[in-house]
């Protein structure tokens, strides 16, 4: 199924994974997929790294999901380190496997640029234009409710997002913790004449140090109320329970705000994701 067709039917919910780097991590991901599949999510998305080994790992996970047929995959794809020929070859493999959805991203520049090859695409919009012109797939793009960390201004950030979304079919956001960031972004896109569906990404906190690092990298704010809530907690189970409660509340507020779906970042673990789904009455858990 294409994500745009799923969204046309009604509100969606979905989960995100990253490709494993070791046999142990691969086994963990397989367990997570098997544990989340019975919830009957609308799709799984799989993140992507520009370097050679990471490309292969992403492709392998995506192709396996597509061939399994239970839950359609969304394959992340970045501009960084890709020629048109490489993009075409990868999308050809995806077409052969029945993959019908991609998320076109700019990608992160590595600390050592010599680790990657030449790039024919500078911005995500360049990649969207190329894929749209050459392949029949559903195209998603990234959105940053709190602005992309490299944005020069709020106005330019929203204009770039609007330009991407006019070409794409949907957007998926970076994680955030305040529903007002999402509402404001939707209002700003609407003011620019863009009304494509934007799926909010929700990250349940399961590790305090980890979420702090990820927020710093992505430009997401850790609000004071959140750090105050987590500060006295040290037991991993207590942290996860608080994180699930916070994420469930945010999801409830997002649905009330009219979000077209919910996209849960799993970090390749199923427990928190399942608990959120159960709390919201999603799936068949």
Q: Is 253 known to be catalytic?
A: no
Nearest-angstrom CA–CA distance, 44 and 37: 9
Please count the other Cβ atoms lying within 10 Å of the Cβ belonging to residue 175.
24
User: Which tokens hold the place of 263?
Assistant: 């996209």
Catalytic residues: 16
């Amino acid at each position: 199924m294409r994500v745009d067709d799923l969204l046309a039917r009604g509100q969606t919910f979905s989960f995100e994974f990253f490709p494993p780097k070791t046999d142990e991590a691969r086994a963990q991901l397989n367990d997570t997929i098997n544990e989340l599949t019975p919830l009957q999510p609308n799709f799984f998305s799989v993140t992507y790294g520009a370097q050679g080994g990471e490309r292969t790992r992403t492709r392998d996970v995506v192709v396996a999901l597509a061939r399994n047929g239970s839950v359609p995959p969304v394959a992340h794809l970045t501009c960084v380190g890709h020629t048109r020929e490489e993009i075409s070859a990868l999308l050809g493999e995806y077409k052969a496997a029945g993959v019908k959805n991609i998320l076109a991203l700019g990608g992160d520049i590595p600390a050592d640029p010599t680790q990657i090859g030449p790039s024919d695409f500078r911005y995500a919009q360049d990649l969207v234009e190329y894929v749209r012109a050459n392949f029949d797939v559903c195209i998603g793009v990234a959105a940053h409710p709190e602005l992309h960390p490299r944005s020069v201004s709020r106005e330019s950030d929203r204009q770039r997002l609007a330009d991407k979304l006019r070409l794409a079919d949907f957007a998926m956001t970076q994680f955030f913790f305040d529903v007002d960031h999402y509402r404001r972004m939707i209002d700003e896109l609407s003011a620019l004449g863009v009304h494509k569906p934007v799926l909010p990404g929700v990250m349940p906190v399961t590790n305090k140090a980890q979420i702090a690092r990820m927020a710093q990298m992505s430009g997401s704010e850790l609000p004071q109320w959140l750090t105050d809530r987590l500060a006295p907690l040290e037991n991993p189970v207590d942290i996860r329970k608080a994180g699930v409660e916070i994420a469930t509340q945010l999801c409830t507020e997002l649905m009330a705000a009219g979000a077209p779906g919910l996209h849960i970042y799993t970090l390749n673990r199923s427990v928190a994701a399942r608990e959120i789904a159960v709390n919201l009455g999603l799936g068949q858990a």
